[in-house]
């Protein structure tokens, strides 16, 4: 739970309560400033990884879920903890293990001796931000416990559909599939994630700065998130998501997003293309990135900027290219380079 921290003003000028902006342009500007302040706050905890931070914020503003992949020790969990620290809503963490049961995620019915009735005990999934840590450590049956809630924002327990609090976002981390003791995520669940992000090793200067900062800390090898300010209430995030969804989008940009997704279905080297959810995610991601940069409308570059993260987990590489050592991102980058973007 992160709600006990009182939000601090973004700047001295904002110390006195100001009336809510009335026109759409002012609302967009305020939402963009809030998103950029959130980015700055996250970078206090996470050194480097600029693209990953921007992509997580893109999904947050777009109301999507994120899968973060990387070897242990790169800060995947730290990023989610930092985001939770900046958000005044509810936060829950589930450590996925091979013996985790679906009811450990969603909840279950418990028999109450006093009332002689079954009572529903809600699981940790009833929260605003859910960290599914090392999600590929649990078997498919447990992973599938998230399918309904990720799509419909509700959980069915004992025949009753129970809504989770809004906003709701799943941030899952996983180690690369080739490591021992992991279970690949089913295609249906992968498709529920708006973005799949890859966390790579930091640059030398970033790693030097990280080691210097961590070794000065009293908390062993951990970076501390406690100094981070709480900037965002649940209602602020819902308002930000609404403002982003209303950003103007030219018909040519919409067509570009659809053409990118459709191109994956016939592209040489790909044996499985992206479905319509990818087109929707590209448009939602484009709008979120436009808000994050402070734009008044969506540019083709906003769509292109989130395309790799939207598409990489929705396509499958042909076996012959896999044998040659080609990566999905390389094939998708060729596609992005060759599919013509509109000139506005």
> What pLDDT, in 10s, does the model give residues 122-155?
899 999 999 999 999 998 888 888 989 999 999 9
Q: Which spans in the chain are helix H?
A: 24-45, 50-62, 76-86, 102-106, 140-143, 147-152, 187-192, 204-216, 234-245, 251-263, 276-292, 300-305, 307-311, 319-323, 328-338
Cβ-count burial 166-176 (b if 16+ within 10 Å, e if not):
ebbbbbbbbbe
Q: What is the pLDDT of residues 34-66, one digit of tens each?
A: 999 999 999 888 877 889 999 999 999 999 999
Least confident piece of the model among 71-75, 81-85, 119-123, 205-209: 71-75
Q: Global pTM?
A: 0.85
Question: Can you tell me the distance from the alpha carbon of 106 to that of 122, in angstroms, rounded to the nearest whole number?
Answer: 6
- Are the CB atoms for 63 and 206 separated by under 8 Å? no
Work out whether strand 160-163 and strand 169-174 pair parallel, antiparallel, or are unpaired. Answer: unpaired
- Are the CB atoms for 286 and 194 separated by under 8 Å? no
Give me the domains of the chain, ranges plus CATH numbers.
22-244 (3.40.50.300), 247-344 (1.10.8.80)
Question: 14: pLDDT confidence band, cut at 50, 70 and 90?
Answer: very low
């Amino acid at each position: 739970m992160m709600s006990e921290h009182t939000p601090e003003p973004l700047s001295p000028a904002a110390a006195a309560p100001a009336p809510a902006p009335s026109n759409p342009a002012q609302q967009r500007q305020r939402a963009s400033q809030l998103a950029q302040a959130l980015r700055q706050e996250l970078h206090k905890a996470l050194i480097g990884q600029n693209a990953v931070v921007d992509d997580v914020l893109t999904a947050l503003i777009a109301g999507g879920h994120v899968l973060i992949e990387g070897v242990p020790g790169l800060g995947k969990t730290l990023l989610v903890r930092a985001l939770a620290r900046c958000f005044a809503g509810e936060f829950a963490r589930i450590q996925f293990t091979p013996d985790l049961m679906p009811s450990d995620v969603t909840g279950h019915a418990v028999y109450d001796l006093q009332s002689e009735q079954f009572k529903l005990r809600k699981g940790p999934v009833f929260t605003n931000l859910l960290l599914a840590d090392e999600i590929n450590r649990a078997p498919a049956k447990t992973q599938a416990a998230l399918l309904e809630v990720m799509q419909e924002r509700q959980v069915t327990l004992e025949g009753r559909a129970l809504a989770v609090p809004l906003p709701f976002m799943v941030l899952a981390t996983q180690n690369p599939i080739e490591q021992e003791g992991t279970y690949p995520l089913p295609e249906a669940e992968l498709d529920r994630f708006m973005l799949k992000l890859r966390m790579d090793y930091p640059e030398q200067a970033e790693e030097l700065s990280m080691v210097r900062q961590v070794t000065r800390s009293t908390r062993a090898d951990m970076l501390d998130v406690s100094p981070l300010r709480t900037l965002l209430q649940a209602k602020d995030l819902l308002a930000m998501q609404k403002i982003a969804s209303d950003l103007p989008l030219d018909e040519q940009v919409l067509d570009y997003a659809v053409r990118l997704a459709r191109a994956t279905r016939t592209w040489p080297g790909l044996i499985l293309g992206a479905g319509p959810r990818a087109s929707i995610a590209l448009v939602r991601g484009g709008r979120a990135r436009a808000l994050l940069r402070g734009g008044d409308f969506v540019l083709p570059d906003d769509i292109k900027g989130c395309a790799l993260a939207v598409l990489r987990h929705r396509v499958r590489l042909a076996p012959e290219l896999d044998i040659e050592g080609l990566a999905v991102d390389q094939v998708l980058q060729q596609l992005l380079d060759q599919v013509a973007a509109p000139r506005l």
